């Protein structure tokens, strides 16, 4: 069996270019005891991957030059030497940007297509949904009647944050870019208020939407959106810092005056809680509650989701560039191979 892989050929400077990636086809080894041969059905594309392309110190090691780009996948078992997995099983794995892979069966999780579409294991019922659940409930801790603001609100994390906030009795204000996404926030995801950060009146619109200030700001973006929100934060506001997508392609510090002292002064005078987090740190305690709660909310229609699916491994570099500038609408997935459940 052969696999076609996308490997990291160079460290991107700014926006990743096609030349930063290499498509390679190679033979896979024969299976050892306990291993399975996997065919990739869906590949998840996520903003964290941009950080793994560089060498800056972070919470995870960078992808080595010449290495297969990392990523979570839904795969079909096509050969097995493990009692844990049978041929035809659909599993959640971490096999990266490639069409096939050999993996230890212990490092896969079987999916049941009867419970939910298998693609949701990479979105609302997977890492993005868990990120929203853990970050909001453990750090944001929204209370009934409070105002929760979330940036990149039509994404898989942001859309779940706003809906979970409402389930906890809070008021949700979503921020997105463009009329179509803004409309979807209220009509599809049920946010109380939707704002367009591209609007010239965005700051005034934010003030009008948060007359009593902001109690929780779920940070996905940074940049100008964060600056505007910062002015509206209430005493004891909480800020779960999940991502800073506005700066992912930046290769040097921004020019202009240093705003950090003013920001830290506001952290002090408003007694703000600002906490960065990586979703994996909450896995030991929250994985089972998340799977129980989110599965029920999705099944009951209380949490809705949207997927943006592109076709073929060859589409990955362009789709990934689009992800970093907000061109996707919902959870971005690449259908690498046929989905046997559809």
200 and 64 belong to one structural domain: no
In this prediction, residue 164 has a pLDDT band, given cuts at 50, 70 and 90, of very high
SS (H, E, C) the chain: CEEEEEEECCCCCCCCCHHHEEEEEEECCCCCCCEEEEEEEEEECCCHHHHHCCCCCCCCCCCCCCCECCCCEEEEEEEECCCCCCCCCEEEECCCCECEEEEEHHHCEECCCCCCCHHHHHCCCCHHHHHHHHHHHHHHCCCCCCEEEECCCCCHHHHHHHHHHHHCCCEEEEEECCHHHHHHHHHCCCCCEEEECCCCCHHHHHHHHCCCCEEEEEECCCHHHHHHHHCCEEEEEEEEECCCHHHCCCCCCCCCCCCHHHHHHHHHHCCCEEEECCHHHHHHHHHHHHHHHHHHHHHCCCCCCCEEEEECHHHHHHHHHHHHCCCCCCEEEEECCCCCCC
108 and 223 belong to one structural domain: no
105 and 209 belong to one structural domain: no
Residues 250-261: tens digit of each pLDDT: 666 666 776 777
Q: What is the rounded average pLDDT of the residues 158-179?
A: 97
Residues 4-38: tens digit of each pLDDT: 999 999 999 999 999 999 999 999 999 999 999 99
Residues 99-142: tens digit of each pLDDT: 999 999 999 999 999 999 999 999 999 999 999 999 999 999 99
pTM score of the predicted model: 0.92
In this prediction, residue 248 has a pLDDT band, given cuts at 50, 70 and 90, of low
Residue 247 has pLDDT above 80, yes or no: no
| Percent of the chain's residues with pLDDT above 90 | 85
Check residue 36 and give its pLDDT.
Answer: 98
Q: Domain of 261: which CATH number? A: 3.40.50.720
List the domain range (segments joined by +) for residue 213. 130-281
Q: What is the rounded average pLDDT of the residues 153-161?
A: 96
173 and 205 belong to one structural domain: yes
């Amino acid at each position: 069996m052969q696999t076609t892989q996308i490997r990291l050929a160079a460290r991107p400077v700014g926006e990743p270019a096609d030349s930063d990636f290499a498509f390679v086809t190679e033979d896979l080894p024969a299976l050892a005891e306990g291993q399975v041969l996997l065919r990739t059905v869906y590949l998840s594309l996520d903003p964290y991957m941009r950080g793994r392309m560089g060498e800056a110190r972070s919470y995870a090691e960078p992808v080595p030059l010449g290495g297969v780009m990392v990523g979570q996948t839904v795969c079909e078992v096509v050969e097995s030497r493990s009692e844990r997995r049978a041929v035809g099983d659909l599993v959640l794995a971490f096999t990266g940007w490639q069409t096939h892979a050999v993996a230890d069966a212990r490092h896969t999780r079987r999916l049941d297509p009867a419970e939910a579409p298998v693609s949701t294991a990479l979105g609302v019922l997977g890492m993005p949904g868990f990120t929203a659940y853990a970050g909001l409930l453990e750090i944001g801790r929204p209370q009934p009647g409070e105002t929760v603001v979330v940036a990149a609100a039509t994404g898989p994390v942001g859309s779940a944050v706003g809906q979970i906030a409402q389930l906890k009795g809070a008021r949700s204000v979503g921020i997105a870019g463009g009329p179509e996404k803004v409309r979807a926030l209220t009509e599809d995801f049920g946010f109380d208020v939707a704002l367009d950060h591209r609007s010239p009146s965005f700051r005034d619109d934010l003030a009008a939407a948060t007359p009593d200030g902001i109690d929780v700001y779920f940070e996905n973006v940074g940049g100008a959106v964060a600056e505007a929100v910062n002015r509206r934060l209430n005493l004891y506001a909480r800020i779960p810092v999940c991502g800073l997508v506005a700066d992912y392609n930046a290769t040097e510090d921004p020019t202009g005056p240093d705003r950090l002292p003013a920001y830290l002064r506001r952290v002090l005078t408003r007694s703000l809680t600002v906490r960065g987090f990586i979703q994996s740190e909450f896995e030991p305690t929250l994985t089972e509650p998340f799977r129980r709660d989110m599965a029920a909310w999705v099944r009951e229609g209380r949490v809705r989701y949207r997927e943006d699916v592109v076709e073929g491994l060859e589409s990955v570099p362009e789709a990934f560039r689009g992800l970093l500038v907000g061109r996707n609408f919902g959870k971005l997935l690449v259908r690498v191979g046929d989905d046997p459940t559809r």
